[in-house]
Structure 1
Amino acid sequence: MLELIGKRILLAIPTLFLVSIMVFSLQKLLPGDPVVAMAGEERDPAVIAMLRDKYRLDDPIPAQYFYWLRDALHGDLGISLRTQEPVTTLIAGKLPVTIELTLLSMIIAMALGITTGIIAAVRRGTWVDYSANFVALSGISIPNFWLGVLLILLFSVKLQWLPASGFVPLTEDVSQNLRTLLLPALVLGTGLAATLMRHTRAAMIAVLKADYIRTAKAKGLLPRRVILKHALRNALVPIVTLTTLLFGELLGGAVLTEQVFTIPGFGKMIVDSVFNRDYAVVQGVVLVVAMGFLLLNLLADVLYVLINPRMRGE
């Protein structure tokens, strides 16, 4: 296990290095000049020159990258060109919001998607299977922003059960925090549940055809034991892979959902930073998201070994 983790960490180092080069290089292709925007309407040449010197924007691009990478390795991701706040402070303020929304969405997605996928596989070819596939296809097809508007009209405007937008930190009011996140989590979770349901169904159908499942049934084991202990455990490997990828996708920010519900998460921050040419924030957020993806892949590899004993020897 430790050897596996060590190998994955060694592979993560060059991956992060390449990601940092790509992010730093591609953001230079963004149109516009952030210094001109910071200088205000007068655009005093002296102020522009001072800002360029302050942020080393007149240095060659390789030198700029070297300074940024050196500071990033020491935990300094730079200063926001718009707010003059440290990027680490901005990320620390937005990351808990995104993580909380992501966790709540994934709980909903796994509870709905995996459960319905198992039922659809067991009841393959029945009206239950067809209904589950129809609902899953609908969930994949409906855009998040449209579903969000419908839920706001139903639960916020008509029934007045939940707030339509806004966010209350968990440290201030737990109940109100959950009420503000429930609708966006439902929007994201139902869409992910549809994807999880289809993959769970396909994996379970493949496993249920295996010889050892027929042997377990022939021994007289309870159907629930055969499905949950023998079939589901062996079908979890592709489900774990998909779950970690979906989690990483949400960690990058659900832009449209955050915009609809006014959630101050990663997605909204990175979109605002791109429009404002706030290079330091864009670089910092993408680097943190890339690290999140690598950690999730490491977690998936560890879960593979724990789920499937045959992989422990490998």
Structure 2
Amino acid sequence: MLEFLLKRLASIVPTLVFVSILIFGLQQLLPGDPALILAGEEQDPTVVAYLHKKLHLDQPLPVRYGYWVRDVLHGDLGESMRLQQPVSALIAQKLPVTIELSLLAMAVALLVSIPAGIVAAVGRGTAWDYAANAFALWGLSTPNFWLGILMILLFSVQLGWFPASGYVSPFVNLRANLLGMAMPAFVLGNSIAAVLMRHTRSAMLEVLSADYVRTARAKGLSEPVVVLKHAFRNALTPIITLGALELGTLLSGAVLTEQVFTIPGFGKLIVDAVANRDFAVVQGVVLITALAYIVLNLLADLASFLINPRLRR
């Protein structure tokens, strides 16, 4: 276990270095001079020269990259030139909102997809299997923004059960927070549930045909024990990996869903930053997102390592 963990941690460092080079390098390909954009309509030459010096735009690209890495290693992600706030403070404001929405959406997806995938695999070719596949097809085919608008029209405008938009902190009013996050969490969880259900069904079908499952049945074990204890545990590895990737996607910001429900999360922050050439914010958000993906993949590998005894051997 310790050796496995050390190997995975050792692979993170070069990955982060490569990701940081991509983040910094690709952003330089964006058209336009950020100093001219931040200087406003008048574009006073004195202001432009000051911004060039402050942002190190008058330095070669490798030197600018070195300045950025040095600051990041000291916990300084830079300052938003448009909002005049530290990037770390902006991320600290937006990230908890996106984390809450992501966790709620993932909870919805897991509660729906895992039982549906198991039932579809066990009852292959039955009405339950066709119903689960129809649900998966519907979830994959339905655009999130369209489903969100329909839910607002039905549950907010017509029935008045949920607020149409906005965000309330759970520390201010927990009930209002859950009511406001219910619809966007369902919209995001719906599409993820469809993907997870198909993978759960495929993994369970492969495992249910294995020799050890037939042996367990031959020993007289009950069907729930065979399915849940022996089959499902061994089918978890691809499900955990895919779930970690989907959670990483949610943490990177569900742009359209956040826009439809007016949720101040990562999605709106990154869109505004790109539109305004706010390089420091873009770099900070993308770096945190990449780090989240790496950490989630590490946790998924550790979970698979603990669950599957074959990996430990």
Q: TM-score, normalised by structure 2?
A: 0.98
Q: Distance in 2 between matches of 1:225 and 1:148?
A: 39
Q: Could you tell me which residue of structure 2 aligns to residue 253 of structure 1?
A: 253
Q: Distance in 1 between matches of 2:287 and 2:43?
A: 32
Deviation at 1:179, TM superposition (A): 1.0
Q: Could you tell me which residue of structure 2 aligns to residue 69 of structure 1?
A: 69
Q: Could you tell me which residue of structure 1 aligns to residue 225 of structure 2?
A: 225
Instruction: Check whether the contact 1:34–1:81 (CA below 8 A) recurs between aligned residues.
Output: no
Secondary structure of residue in 2 paired with 1:167: coil
Deviation at 1:58, TM superposition (A): 0.9
Secondary structure of residue in 2 paired with 1:172: coil
> Where does structure 1 differ by over 2 angstroms across 4 or more consecutive aligned residues?
none
Deviation at 1:51, TM superposition (A): 1.4
Q: Could you tell me which residue of structure 2 aligns to residue 196 of structure 1?
A: 196
Q: Could you tell me which residue of structure 1 aligns to residue 286 of structure 2?
A: 286
Q: Could you tell me which residue of structure 2 aligns to residue 45 of structure 1?
A: 45
Secondary structure of residue in 2 paired with 1:58: coil
Deviation at 1:32, TM superposition (A): 2.0
Q: Distance in 1 between matches of 2:44 and 2:33?
A: 14
Q: Could you tell me which residue of structure 2 aligns to residue 113 of structure 1?
A: 113
Deviation at 1:226, TM superposition (A): 0.8
Residues 229-274 of structure 1: CA deviation (Å, up to 9, x unaligned)? 0010010011111101101111111111111111111111111100
Deviation at 1:135, TM superposition (A): 1.2
Secondary structure of residue in 2 paired with 1:31: coil
1:163-182 equivalent positions in 2, closer than 5 A: 163-182=163-182
Instruction: Check whether the contact 1:79–1:280 (CA below 8 A) recurs between aligned residues.
Output: yes
1:264-279 equivalent positions in 2, closer than 5 A: 264-279=264-279
AA aligned opposite 1:240: I
AA aligned opposite 2:197: M
1:183 paired to 2:183 = yes
Q: Distance in 1 between matches of 2:39 and 2:268?
A: 24
Q: Could you tell me which residue of structure 1 aligns to residue 56 of structure 2?
A: 56
* Unaligned ranges ≥5, structure 2: none
Identical residues among aligned pairs (%): 61
Q: Could you tell me which residue of structure 2 aligns to residue 3 of structure 1?
A: 3
Q: Could you tell me which residue of structure 1 aligns to residue 16 of structure 2?
A: 16
Instruction: Check whether the contact 1:139–1:194 (CA below 8 A) recurs between aligned residues.
Output: yes
Q: Distance in 1 between matches of 2:277 and 2:8?
A: 34
Q: Distance in 2 between matches of 1:128 and 1:311?
A: 33
Residues 150-194 of structure 1: CA deviation (Å, up to 9, x unaligned)? 111111111110011110112111111111111100000011000
Q: Distance in 1 between matches of 2:178 and 2:36?
A: 42
Q: Size of the alignment, in residue pairs?
A: 313
* Unaligned ranges ≥5, structure 1: none
Q: Distance in 1 between matches of 2:262 and 2:114?
A: 29
Pick which of 13-22 and 41-50 moved more: 41-50
Deviation at 1:211, TM superposition (A): 1.3
Q: Could you tell me which residue of structure 2 aligns to residue 152 of structure 1?
A: 152
